[in-house]
C-alpha cells in the first residue's frame, strides 16, 4: 500500500509540495494525465496530473470529478494549486492537493512518479530477501533521468564509482564505455576532468557543470551534483552532443533530489547490512556462532581461510568506520573481491581464503605490502594466522594476533608477515614466555653476570648469548655483536674469570642458552 505522502517524500520538495493530504486519502495505484476535453479515464488511487488546466473553474471541476472516482491526489502547477477555490474544493472532496514546480515538465514528472511507485512496490519484497532496496530501482531511475535530459546517464558516488547507468550507452564515447566496464572513471580520464576543475566545481555546489568536448574524442558532459542536507552524495553524468538548453539542464538538475533519496536509502541499507555482517564476523572469530550460519550470511566458501589483522600505530587508529572502510577499499583495489572484514578494538580483522586465485591471501598480502606509509595509514602492520577451517577461525585469529605482537615488539622484521612463515620466532617466543613464568633466569650464575653488566657497563650477557648461538665459530659470533673476534675472545676470558662455567658440558650450554633466550624473547 503506497501512500501519497510517501510518494511526495520520495520525489522531494524540489518538484512536489503537498498542500492538502486528508487522512482518508486513497492509496496510490497509478499516474494518469487529465487534459481538458478528455473527461473520464480516472480510477481509484490515481495521481492525476492536471496538464494544460488553465483556470480556476477547470481546476475545481477536475477536483470534483476526481472525488467521484476516489482519486488519491490531483497535481497542479502554480498558481492554480494555491487558489482558495481549488483548495476548498480539495478539502470538501477529501482529495489530496499537490503543487508541482512550475519549471517541471509533465512528461518528466510522469517518468519520475512511476519510477518512485515501482521502487516502493518492490521495496518490501527486496527487504524480505535481504537485498538492497535501492539497488534495482537505481537503474530504472537512471533511465528516467536519461529521458529528462535526453542523453545517456551514469549515477556515480563521490569516489567516481558507477552505481547505475541508463540505456543508450551505445551512442557514447570510449571513455564512457570504459567507465561502465570498469564501474568507475578510468584514471587517465579522471585526471583530465580533474585538470579542468570539474571536481572542484562539484564540491562548490554548482547546480550544473558543462564540460566541452575534448580533442581525444571525449564528448561533452553535463554534470549534476547529488546533494542532501549540504552533503555531496555523488553526481550524475550525461553524455551530450553539445551545450544543453537552460530549461533542459534545469530539469536535469531537478531530478537530483530524487536520486539523493535513493542514494541515502542505499547507504542506510548498506550500513545496516555492514554492521550486521561485522557483528556476525566478530562472533565467528570468537567462536560464538556456527560456521554454517557464517557460510550462508557472510558468503564465505567452505574452504580453509586465514584471519588477517591490520593495525596502523604510526598514524590514525582504526577507531572510526570511515577510516576502516577507506583502508579496506585501498586493500581491495585490483583484487578479485573485497574480503569479509570487521573492526574490533582499533584493529581491522579480515577473513580471506587460502590458496591461489582472486581475493585470496597472496593477493591480499601483496595489496597490503603496496600500501605506502602516510597520514591516513601510518606505519601499517599486518599479520595473518594459519589456514583453518571456518570452525577453527578463532584459532587463526589468535595466531594472527600473536604474530602481530612480535611485529610490534620489533622481534620480527617487515610490515606484513604470516604465522606459517615465522614458526621459529614463535617457538622461541612461546618457550621464552613459559620459561619466564617459571623464573628460570633466576637460576645459576646468570644473575651475577647481569649485575656485573649493569654496574660496570659491560656486555657479557650478549657476548655469552652469541657465543652459544654460534658454537665453534667465533667470527660469526663477533659479527653478530659487531666487534672484532679478538674482542670477543677477550670478553669471554674475562667472563669466565667472573663466573667459572664448564662450557664444554652440553647441559650447561643448553641451560644457559635457554635462560638467555628467555631474556631476549619473553
Q: Residue 93 has which C-alpha cell?
A: 472532496
Which residue ranges in the chain fall short of pLDDT 50?
Answer: 124-133, 314-323, 334-335, 375-377
Closest CA relative to residue 155, chosen from 173, 147, 170, 143: 143
Give residue 108's pLDDT: 66
User: Is the separation of the CB atoms in 133 and 265 below 8 Å?
Assistant: yes
The phi, psi pair for 117, rounded to 5°, reads -60, -40
Q: What is the dihedral of CA 130, 133, 134, 136, to 10 degrees?
A: 80
Pairwise CA distance, residues 364 & 333, whole Å: 10
* Kind plus residue range of the DSSP H or E element containing 91: helix 84-93
> What are the pLDDT digits (tens) for 100-150?
888 777 776 776 787 677 766 655 444 444 444 455 578 888 888 998 888
User: Is the separation of the CB atoms in 78 and 64 below 8 Å?
Assistant: no
Give residue 170's pLDDT: 72
Closest CA relative to residue 308, chosen from 292, 285, 289: 285
Map residue 340 onto helix, strand or coil: strand
Map residue 441 onto helix, strand or coil: helix
Residues of the chain with CATH 3.40.1390: 4-102
**Which pTM does this prediction carry?**
0.50
What angle do helix axes 135-149 and 106-128 make, rounded to 10 degrees?
Answer: 170
- The yes/no answer on whether domain 4-102 falls in CATH 2.160.20 is no
Does residue 378 come out as left (phi exceeding 0), alpha (psi in the -120 to 50 range) or beta?
left
What's the sign of the alpha-carbon dihedral 197, 203, 206, 211? positive
Q: DSSP secondary-structure letter at 161?
A: B
Pairwise CA distance, residues 422 & 418, whole Å: 7
* Kind plus residue range of the DSSP H or E element containing 306: strand 305-311
User: Is the separation of the CB atoms in 116 and 133 below 8 Å?
Assistant: no
User: Is the separation of the CB atoms in 289 and 43 below 8 Å?
Assistant: no
User: Is the separation of the CB atoms in 47 and 21 below 8 Å?
Assistant: no
79 preceded by a cis bond (ω within 30 of 0) = yes
DSSP characters for 442-496?
GSTTHHHHHHHHHHH---HHHHHHHHHHSTT-HHHHHHHHTS-HHHHHHHHHHHH
The phi, psi pair for 233, rounded to 5°, reads -95, -20
What angle do helix axes 506-521 and 423-437 make, rounded to 10 degrees?
Answer: 100
Architecture in CATH for domain 122-266: 2-Layer Sandwich (3.30)
Closest CA relative to residue 423, chosen from 406, 437, 440: 406
Pairwise CA distance, residues 142 & 163, whole Å: 10
What angle do helix axes 246-254 and 135-149 make, rounded to 10 degrees?
Answer: 170
Residues of the chain with CATH 3.30.450.40: 122-266
Contacts of 145 (CB under 8 A, 6+ apart): 153, 155, 166, 236, 252, 255, 259
Give residue 313's pLDDT: 55
Closest CA relative to residue 380, chosen from 329, 305, 307, 317: 317
Q: Please give the class, per CATH, of domain 287-422.
A: alpha beta
The phi, psi pair for 97, rounded to 5°, reads -125, 120
* Kind plus residue range of the DSSP H or E element containing 497: helix 485-498
Amino acid at each position: 500500500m503506497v501512500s501519497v505522502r510517501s510518494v511526495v517524500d520520495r520525489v522531494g520538495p524540489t518538484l512536489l509540495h503537498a498542500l492538502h493530504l486528508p487522512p482518508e486519502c486513497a492509496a496510490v495505484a497509478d499516474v494518469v494525465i487529465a487534459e481538458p476535453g478528455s473527461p473520464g479515464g480516472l480510477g481509484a488511487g490515481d495521481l492525476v496530473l492536471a496538464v494544460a488546466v488553465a483556470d480556476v473553474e477547470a481546476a475545481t471541476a477536475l477536483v470534483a470529478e476526481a472525488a467521484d472516482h476516489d482519486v488519491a491526489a490531483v497535481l497542479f502547477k502554480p498558481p492554480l494549486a494555491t487558489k482558495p477555490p481549488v483548495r476548498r474544493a480539495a478539502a470538501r472532496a477529501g482529495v489530496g492537493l499537490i503543487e508541482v514546480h512550475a519549471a517541471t515538465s509533465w512528461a518528466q514528472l510522469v517518468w519520475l512518479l512511476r519510477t518512485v511507485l515501482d521502487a516502493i512496490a518492490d521495496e518490501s519484497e527486496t527487504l524480505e530477501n535481504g537485498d538492497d532496496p535501492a539497488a534495482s530501482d537505481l537503474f530504472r531511475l537512471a533511465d528516467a533521468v536519461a529521458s529528462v535530459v535526453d542523453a545517456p546517464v551514469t549515477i556515480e558516488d563521490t569516489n567516481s564509482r558507477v552505481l547505475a547507468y541508463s540505456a543508450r550507452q551505445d551512442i557514447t564515447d570510449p571513455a564512457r564505455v570504459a567507465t561502465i566496464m570498469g564501474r568507475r572513471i578510468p584514471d587517465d580520464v579522471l585526471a583530465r576532468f580533474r585538470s579542468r576543475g570539474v571536481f572542484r566545481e562539484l564540491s562548490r555546489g554548482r547546480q550544473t557543470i558543462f564540460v566541452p568536448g575534448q580533442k581525444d574524442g571525449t564528448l561533452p558532459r553535463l554534470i549534476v551534483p547529488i546533494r542532501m542536507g549540504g552533503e555531496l552524495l555523488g553526481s550524475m553524468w550525461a553524455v551530450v552532443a553539445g551545450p544543453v538548453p537552460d530549461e533542459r539542464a534545469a530539469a536535469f538538475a531537478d531530478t537530483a533530489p530524487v536520486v539523493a533519496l535513493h542514494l541515502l536509502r542505499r547507504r542506510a541499507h548498506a550500513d545496516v547490512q555492514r554492521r550486521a555482517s561485522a557483528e556476525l564476523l566478530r562472533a565467528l572469530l570468537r567462536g560464538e556462532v556456527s560456521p554454517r550460519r557464517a557460510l550462508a550470511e557472510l558468503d564465505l566458501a567452505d574452504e580453509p581461510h586465514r584471519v588477517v589483522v591490520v593495525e596502523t600505530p604510526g598514524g590514525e587508529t582504526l577507531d572510526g568506520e570511515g577510516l576502516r572502510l577507506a583502508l579496506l577499499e585501498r586493500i581491495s583495489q585490483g583484487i578479485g573481491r573485497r574480503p569479509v572484514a570487521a573492526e574490533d578494538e582499533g584493529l581491522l580483522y579480515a577473513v580471506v581464503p587460502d590458496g591461489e586465485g582472486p581475493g585470496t591471501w597472496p593477493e591480499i598480502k601483496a595489496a597490503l605490502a603496496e600500501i605506502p606509509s602516510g597520514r591516513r595509514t601510518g606505519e601499517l602492520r599486518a599479520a595473518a594466522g594459519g589456514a583453518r577451517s571456518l570452525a577453527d577461525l578463532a584459532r587463526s585469529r589468535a595466531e594472527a594476533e600473536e604474530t602481530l605482537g612480535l611485529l610490534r615488539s620489533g622481534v620480527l622484521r617487515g610490515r606484513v608477515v604470516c604465522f606459517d612463515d615465522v614458526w621459529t620466532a614463535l617457538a622461541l617466543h612461546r618457550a621464552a614466555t613459559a620459561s619466564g613464568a617459571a623464573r628460570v633466569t633466576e637460576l645459576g650464575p646468570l644473575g651475577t653476570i647481569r649485575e656485573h653488566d649493569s654496574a660496570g657497563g659491560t656486555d657479557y650477557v650478549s657476548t655469552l648469548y652469541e657465543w652459544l648461538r654460534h658454537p665453534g665459530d667465533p667470527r660469526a659470533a663477533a659479527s653478530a655483536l659487531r666487534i672484532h673476534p679478538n674482542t670477543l675472545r677477550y670478553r669471554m676470558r674475562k667472563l669466565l674469570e667472573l663466573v667459572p662455567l664448564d662450557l664444554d658440558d652440553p647441559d650447561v650450554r643448553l641451560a644457559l642458552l635457554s635462560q638467555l633466550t628467555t631474556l631476549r624473547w619473553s
